[in-house]
């Protein structure tokens, strides 16, 4: 699935939060999980952070994101030592690991491929009994590596993985990466509510009000929702902010 939006006027963060809530909270006995890969969120911007998030949320056992080279290398314990008599040194049980990042592209690529392969294998096992959504949010061209890795995840779509790619089309520094998987569904988030969208928004908000505040009547909830939507048709982020605050006020008034 590919979601296009034109900056914050489309309230992409609210859309993501709603998507996550609707996806994860189902009235059944199945396990529903989701993870967000986002260039703007430091904890899930780089490969190591993405790995840690999969481990934290799903309990996966994944290799480290960095490379460890196992071949012999020089190791100097004592150099230029000056002693007045005999000098005896006994060194044992020493292990030397050489860690590499960008300085060794071949080693880093090998470690990355091993990590992604292990991730896909464990996700396939999880999808045999559960459900998973991976959201890759907007990023710069430099974050194309993350999108390329999502190509590997594309093979799991047939097993039930929901792969969502969100793109900010107002940012001229980005575009769909040529390695990004093709979208089966494409959605454009609006910057304003048209006639049909207004009716849908009123019904959705009224339904949430009734669900969250059982003591309020459906007619009253619909009147509140209609007033909120009608006064904020051209400002979707403000509509969400006002709605959240008004919902708290209604909850206090109706107990």
Q: What is the pLDDT of residues 41-60, one digit of tens each?
A: 777 777 778 888 888 888 88
Residue 185's contacts (CB-CB under 8 Å, 6 or more residues apart) are: 1, 2
- The answer, yes or no, to whether residue 71 has pLDDT greater than 60, is no
The answer to whether 180 and 150 are in contact (CB under 8 A) is yes
Instruction: Give just the sign of the alpha carbon dihedral 215, 216, 217, 218.
Output: negative
DSSP, residue by residue, 84-114: SS-------S----EEESTT-HHHHHHHHHH
Strand partners for 164: 135
Q: What is the mean pLDDT of residues 216-237?
A: 91
Which tokens hold the place of 69?
């080279």
Which tokens hold the place of 251?
């909850």
CA dist 160 and 29 (Å) reads 16
Instruction: State how far the alpha carbon of 155 is from the alpha carbons of 60, 145, 183, 187, 224, in Å.
Output: 19, 17, 13, 22, 45
- 200 — pLDDT class (breaks 50, 70, 90): very high
The answer to whether 42 and 205 are in contact (CB under 8 A) is no
Helices 218-230 and 236-254 meet at what angle, rounded to 10? 150
* 11-18 CB contacts, 8 Å cutoff, 24+ apart: 11/189, 11/236, 11/237, 11/240, 12/137, 12/138, 12/166, 12/168, 12/189, 14/236, 14/237, 14/240, 15/189, 16/135, 16/137, 16/166
pLDDT of residue 150: 65
Task: Name the pTM for this structure.
Answer: 0.70
98-129 pLDDT, tens digit per residue, is 555 445 666 666 777 777 888 888 888 889 88
Q: How far is CA 209 from the centre of its chain?
A: 28
CATH code of 2-67+100-188, in short, is 3.40.50
152-194 pLDDT, tens digit per residue, is 777 888 888 998 888 888 877 666 666 667 788 999 999 899 8
CA dist 46 and 42 (Å) reads 7
> What are the structural domain ranges in the chain?
2-67+100-188, 195-254
The answer to whether 36 and 21 are in contact (CB under 8 A) is no
- 223 — pLDDT class (breaks 50, 70, 90): very high
């Amino acid at each position: 699935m590919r979601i296009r939006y034109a900056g914050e006027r489309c309230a992409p963060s609210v859309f993501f939060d709603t998507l996550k809530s609707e996806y994860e909270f189902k009235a059944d006995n199945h396990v529903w999980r989701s993870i967000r890969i986002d260039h703007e969120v430091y904890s899930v911007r780089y490969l190591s952070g993405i790995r840690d998030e999969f481990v934290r949320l799903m309990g996966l056992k994944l290799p480290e994101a960095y490379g460890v080279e196992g071949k012999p290398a020089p190791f100097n314990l004592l150099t230029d030592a000056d002693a007045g008599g005999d000098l005896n040194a006994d060194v044992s049980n020493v292990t030397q690991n050489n860690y590499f990042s960008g300085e060794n592209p071949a080693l880093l690529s090998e470690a990355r491929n091993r990590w992604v392969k292990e991730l896909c294998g464990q996700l396939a096992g999880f999808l045999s009994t559960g459900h998973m959504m991976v959201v890759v949010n907007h990023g710069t061209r430099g974050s194309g590596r993350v999108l390329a890795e999502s190509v590997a995840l594309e093979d799991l779509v047939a097993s039930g993985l929901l792969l969502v790619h969100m793109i900010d089309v107002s940012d001229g520094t980005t575009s769909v990466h040529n390695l990004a998987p093709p979208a089966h569904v494409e959605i454009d988030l609006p910057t304003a509510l048209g006639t049909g969208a207004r009716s849908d928004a009123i019904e959705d908000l009224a339904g949430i009000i009734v669900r969250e505040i059982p003591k309020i009547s459906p007619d009253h909830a619909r009147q509140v929702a209609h007033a909120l939507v009608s006064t904020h048709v051209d400002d979707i982020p403000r509509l969400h902010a006002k709605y959240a605050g008004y919902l708290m006020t209604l909850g206090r008034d109706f107990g």
